[in-house]
Amino acid sequence: MNILFLDDDLDRTKIFLLNVPNAHTAETAMECISVLQSKEKWDYVLLDHDLCGKVFVDSGREDCGMEVVRWIVKNKPIIKQVVVHSFNSVASKEMILRLRDAGYDAIPVVFYLFNSEKSNIYSILNGET
The reported pTM is 0.88
pLDDT single digits (tens) 25-81: 999 999 999 999 998 899 999 999 999 778 778 778 889 999 999 999 999 999 999
Mean pLDDT of 97-116: 81
Complete domains list, the chain, with CATH: 3-125 (3.40.50.2300)
Q: What is the mean pLDDT of the chain?
A: 87
Measure the CA–CA gap between 13 and 99, rounded to whole angstroms.
Answer: 23
